[in-house]
Amino acid sequence: MNITKEQIDDLNAVVKVAITKEDYQDKVDTILKDYKKQANIPGFRKGQVPMGLIKKQYGKAVLVDEVNKLLQDNLNKYLTEEKLDVLGNPLPKQQDNFDWDQDELAFEFELGLAPDFEVSLKTKKAITQYKIVADDKMVNEQVERIQKQYGKLVSKDEVSKNDEVSGTFVNEAEEIDSKTMIETDKLKSKKALDALKGKKIGDEVTLKTKGLFKEDHMLSSALGIDQQKAEALDIEVTFTISEINEREAAELNQELFDKLFGPDSVKSEKELKERIKEDSEKQFEQQADQKLLNDVTEYFIENTKFELPTGFLTKWIQMTGEEPLSEEQAAEEYAKSEKGLRYQLIEGKIIRDNELQVQFDELKEFSKGFIRSQMAQFGQLDPKEEELDTIAARVLGNQDEVKRLSEQLMSQKLLNLYKEKANLKTKEVTYENFVKEVYG
């Protein structure tokens, strides 16, 4: 077998493979002998079928199969040994009326080659790194929510401004009959609030659905209908009151602090606010980091210039998809995927140049960090190391989880690299202003 490469240009090449009978004949003969032993053909005893008949019936199929195996194995080996960085997979050149009876079989494969380029981590333009802070307003609101959540319900005779009112929404025409609880301070409609004030258990109130709540998603939940229907709904519903309660705020005492954070972790209202601020800003940091990662990614895509073997990649998409595509369809698919491909190449270059790797011990500790966070959400604030090791071993026994966690850990390594080497400018904002700036 002889394999040679013809360089077309920097991004395209053709690999030529010449296969002779000596490369495959022994293997083909062995397989046909096995076929002869097992063949059941009418008119012949098992194992006594003439080899000429076996070759006539099965020879060409066995030959084609063995040659294709040789091509695949040796082509992959050649690409590895020559250290050719190919995009997609080699594409066989079409050969009409191919003669499989030749003494030497010649094949050609088109290659699309990855471009050679450099990535400068020291970005010319300063990229904003947001530091999101929890201001006093946010912390105080969170304290109020905690007091309300852990407060106790006190039964009342009539509705006032800040009550929890249980009842049933009904509209026969829309087939609405939903038992629910509404908080009067979540009502957006002043008319609805005025209509409810002073009402007692058993009273019926007619309310308009449009603009009823401050948050749109609350209407679908209250009426027991899907969100899409709720968004378009503009009708009147009756609300029959079955229960009225006022939630008395919980005291900010040691019992509440222990319930929230464990025994003696927080010992005063001041420490509570500090803890809320710290925990909130940790959560905000994840969002700010994701924003930074996205922005650096976009910068590299826009500012790292290199050519791609567009013609080859378009043909590769056309020929290797699940469904056959026209040239126009393949070009459209390529246009959609080009940006992602560019970043894959850029990211791979950054990883290689900076020798970033994911070691198993790192991955194990990374997974334990996730497990620890999840357990904390369910009140397990201090899990034993043995328990974390056991759960991590189970998680890392799943290849899909290993892939997912490895990608997340590599993203974290890239983020740390960007923070260290990219040209960043820090901007301190409240969460409210961060949302306005980033999401509009």
Among 112, 122, 101, 113, residue whose Cα is nearest residue 56: 101
Which residues of the chain are modeled with pLDDT < 50? none
Which 3 state secondary structure label does DSSP give 134? coil
Exposed e or buried b for every residue in 41-63, given b needs 16+ CB within 10 A? eeeeeeeebeeeebbeebbeebb
The conformation of residue 187, written as its DSSP 8-state character, comes to B
Among 313, 350, 308, residue whose Cα is nearest residue 334: 313
For the stretch 338-383, pLDDT in tens is 999 999 999 999 999 999 999 999 999 999 988 988 887 776 767 8
- pTM for this prediction: 0.73
Token pair in block for residue 183: 């908080």
- Alpha-carbon span 133 to 395, nearest angstrom: 34
Contact predicate 132/214, CB 8 Å: no
User: Greatest CA span in the chain, whole angstroms?
Assistant: 102
CA geometry: angle at 260 spanning 257 and 263, to 5°? 60
Among 71, 66, 70, 74, residue whose Cα is nearest residue 28: 66
User: Domains in the chain, please, with CATH?
Assistant: 2-113 (3.30.70.1050), 152-248 (3.10.50), 267-439 (1.10.3120)
Contact predicate 10/112, CB 8 Å: no
pLDDT at 381: 65
| Residue 214 CA: distances (Å) to CA of 124, 192, 197, 209, 432 | 44, 12, 18, 12, 17
Contact predicate 236/195, CB 8 Å: no
| Residue 304 CA: distances (Å) to CA of 299, 300, 335, 411 | 8, 5, 18, 19
pLDDT at 38: 82
Contact predicate 152/247, CB 8 Å: yes
Let me know how long the chain is: 440
